[in-house]
Amino acid sequence: YKQISRYKSTSSHSFNDFGPGNHQNKNTGAAAQNKHVHKPYKEMQRAKRAQAHRSVLINTSSSISVPLIYKECRQYGKINHVCHFKDEKNSVLIEFASPSSVRELLSSASHFQNPQNIPVQSRLLHFQPRDLLRSSVNKLKVHTVEPPKLELSRLHFAKTISDQMQMLHLTHQISDFDSRLHFFVCSCLEDSLSGLFPHCIVEPFGSSVNGFGKSGCDLDMEVDFLPNNKDSRFQTKSKSMKFRTNKHKGNEREFAQQILQVLGDVIQHFMPTCAGVHHILNARVPIVKFFHKASSLECDLAFKNPSASQMSELLYFFGEIDDRVRPLVATVKEWAHAKNLTRSNPGPWPSNFTLIMMVLFFLQSRRQPILPTFNHLHRLAGQDERIVIDGINFSFTTNLSRLPVTQNDEGLGELLMEFFNFYTTFDFTKYALSLNDGSATSKPDSAPLYIPNLFELGHNVSRNINDSHLLGLRHGMEAAVYSLETNSNRESNNWGILSILHPGDNERPIQMRVSDLFHQDNEEDLHTSNISEMNSDAGMADSEK
C-alpha cells in the first residue's frame, strides 16, 4: 500500500459499474488479490465448533503444574492443540483429537468434597497436582499465551501509515486463543442444555466472528433449540413418529423472554464460573448478561436472531473481499475509542457496529468501489444461498469468485484520510447511508444519522445516535484530518496514525465543550435503548407490530 501523501486521480466509475462485466482490465479477481486464503464463514464456524466440543479448559493454582496437566491429559488420547494462558488463573485450553478422549477424561474426574458444591459436570476443570517433584515433564512443550499487551509505541517504527494500520490490525485482532475460548464457552452452554434439547445450538455472533473483533471483545451468543438446518443431524428419519411436547404460550418475543429467564437462572445457579447474571428481558431484544470467570469473557446470550447471525456472516464476507477492509475498520474503531467518540456500553454515541457500517459504506462509495453493494451480493446469491426467514430476505452470495475485480489501488493511509474527509463533508441532514445500493439516499425521518438495516430497509441501525454525538464525530474527523496532515513526517514523535490514537495530541481546538459531547446517561436506559433498536431491526418484535 502506498503512503498517505501519494494521491492518485481515478477515472469516474459509477456504483452500478461494480458488476460482473467490468473486470476486463485486470485478470486477478477479488479472491486473487487477497493475500490470505479465503475461508468461508460457515466452514470456519463448523470447524471451530467441532474444535470447541473436543476441548476442556483446566485451571491450576501454579503455572509449574501446566506440563503436568498436559501429561495427565495425554493419557486420554491424542492432543491436537494446547494453550496456556499465563494470567493469575493459569488456564490451559486443551483440544483433543477425538471427542471420546473428553468423555473419558470427564468420567475419571471427581467433584470437590464439599457439601455446598452443586455437583455439576462440565468441561471446566481444576487441576490439583499430587506430586510435582516426581515428574520430568518440564521438557514438554506447551504453547503459552501472555495476556495481550497492545503497545502503540511500536507503531512509531513502521515505515508507512499503511504499515502502521496493518500492524495495529494484526496486534489487535482476535487471536486464535480468544476465538477458541469464545467457541468453547458456547459449547459448554450447549452441553448444559443438551439433555432437554439435543439439537440445541449456541453460536457466537457479532465481533467474535465477524472478522472485526478486537482481542478482549465481548462474546455475543444466540441459542436455538431446533435450528432449521440442512445439516444431516437434523434430518428426521421416521415420518410417523413424533415427539410429544408442550406448547408455549404467547408470541415469539414472550417465549424468548420466558426461555431467557430460565436460562439465566440455570446459568446463575448451575454453570460453573458464571457470575453477575443480569436478565435484561424488557429490552426489545431480550438478553441475559453474565461474566464467565474461567475465560474472563463478558457474555450476552440472546434467543435465536437470524438478523444478527446473517449480519455477522455478511460483515465477515465484506472483510474477506479486500485486504484493506479490516485494517481500515480497526484503525477507525481505535481512533474513535481513543477520542472517546464511542464507548463499549451502548448509548447515544456511535457503536462499533455503526462505525463498521460507515467504513463499509465509504468503501462502496469510492469512485472505483472497493466493496460491492449489498444489492449486488443479493442479486448474485446462488440457489443454495437463498434464505428467507419470517418474510425477511437474507440472501446474498459469499462466493468470492462471483465478484469482479476492484480497480481501486488506493493505499490504506490514503483511504484513512479519505474516510475522514468523506464524512466531514457528508450531508447527514439530508442523506442516509444506504449500503444496499452504495449511495446516499434521502433520509426517511429526522434521525441525525440514518443507516438503513441491510435486511430491513425501514429500520435505522444508528437510531440511537443523537445530534451532539454526531457533531462530536464530525469534529473528531476534522481533527483527525488535521492531525494526519501535520504528522505525516516519520521524524515527529507521534507520526501517522499515532497522532490520532493518542488522546488529545495535536488536535485542532474544537468549538464544543467535551462535556457537551459526552454527557453521561443512565447506563441501564442506554443499554435498553440500543438493544431495543437492534430488535426492531432484527424483525423479532412481531408481537409488537
Q: Can you give the binding site for ligand GTP, defined by CB under 6 A?
A: 205-207, 210, 213, 217-218, 220, 307-308, 311-312, 351-353, 453, 461, 533-534, 537-538
Instruction: From 369, 437, 380, select the one nearest 407 (Cα to Cα).
Output: 369
SS3 of 96, please? strand
From the list ligand GTP, Mg ion, none, pick the one residue 461 interacts with, judged by a Cβ distance below 5 to 8 Å according to partner type.
Answer: ligand GTP
For residue 205, what is the enclosing H or E element? strand 201-205
From the list ligand GTP, Mg ion, none, pick the one residue 213 interacts with, judged by a Cβ distance below 5 to 8 Å according to partner type.
Answer: ligand GTP
Residue nearer to ligand GTP on the CB measure, 161 or 302 = 302
Binding-site size, Mg ion (CB under 5 A)? 4
Report DSSP state, residue 320: H
Min dist. Cβ of residue 55 to ligand GTP (A): 23
The residue whose grid cell reads 494521491 is 7
Residue nearer to ligand GTP on the CB measure, 308 or 484 = 308
Min dist. Cβ of residue 374 to ligand GTP (A): 13
Is residue 398 within 8 A of residue 317, CB to CB? The reply is yes
Is residue 396 within 8 A of residue 374, CB to CB? The reply is yes
Residue 218 binds Mg ion, judged by CB under 5 A: yes
d(CA 150, CA 330): 13
Min dist. Cβ of residue 464 to ligand GTP (A): 7
Min dist. Cβ of residue 208 to Mg ion (A): 7
Measured from each CB, the residue nearest to Mg ion is 206
Residue nearer to ligand GTP on the CB measure, 189 or 461 = 461
Residue nearer to ligand GTP on the CB measure, 316 or 495 = 316
SS3 of 262, please? helix
Residue nearer to ligand GTP on the CB measure, 81 or 278 = 278
Residue nearer to ligand GTP on the CB measure, 352 or 506 = 352
| HEC string for 400-454 | HHHCCCCCCCCCHHHHHHHHHHHHHCCCCCCEEEECCCCEEEECCCCCCCCCECC
d(CA 119, CA 112): 8
Min dist. Cβ of residue 353 to Mg ion (A): 8
d(CA 362, CA 348): 22
Residue nearer to ligand GTP on the CB measure, 158 or 538 = 538
Min dist. Cβ of residue 533 to ligand GTP (A): 5
Min dist. Cβ of residue 345 to ligand GTP (A): 9
For residue 83, what is the enclosing H or E element? strand 79-85
d(CA 193, CA 261): 14
d(CA 168, CA 146): 18
Is residue 454 within 8 A of residue 448, CB to CB? The reply is no
| Near Mg ion by CB under 5 A: residue from 72, 95, 178, 220 | 220
Min dist. Cβ of residue 272 to Mg ion (A): 23
Residue nearer to ligand GTP on the CB measure, 351 or 436 = 351
Stretch that binds Mg ion, among 48-56, 218-226, 324-332, 381-389 (CB under 5 A): 218-226
Residue nearer to Mg ion on the CB measure, 44 or 106 = 44
SS3 of 476, please? helix
Min dist. Cβ of residue 346 to ligand GTP (A): 7
Q: Determine phi and psi for 26, rounding to 5 degrees.
A: -130, 145
Interacting positions 151-180 with Mg ion (CB under 5 A)? none
Residue nearer to ligand GTP on the CB measure, 220 or 507 = 220
149: left (phi over 0), alpha (psi -120 to 50) or beta: beta
For residue 57, what is the enclosing H or E element? strand 55-60
SS3 of 156, please? helix
Min dist. Cβ of residue 245 to Mg ion (A): 33
Stretch that binds Mg ion, among 1-9, 219-227, 307-315, 489-497 (CB under 5 A): 219-227
d(CA 448, CA 464): 9
Residue 207 binds Mg ion, judged by CB under 5 A: yes
Residue 434 binds Mg ion, judged by CB under 5 A: no
Residue 478 binds Mg ion, judged by CB under 5 A: no
Q: Give residues in contact with Mg ion (CB under 5 A).
A: 206-207, 218, 220
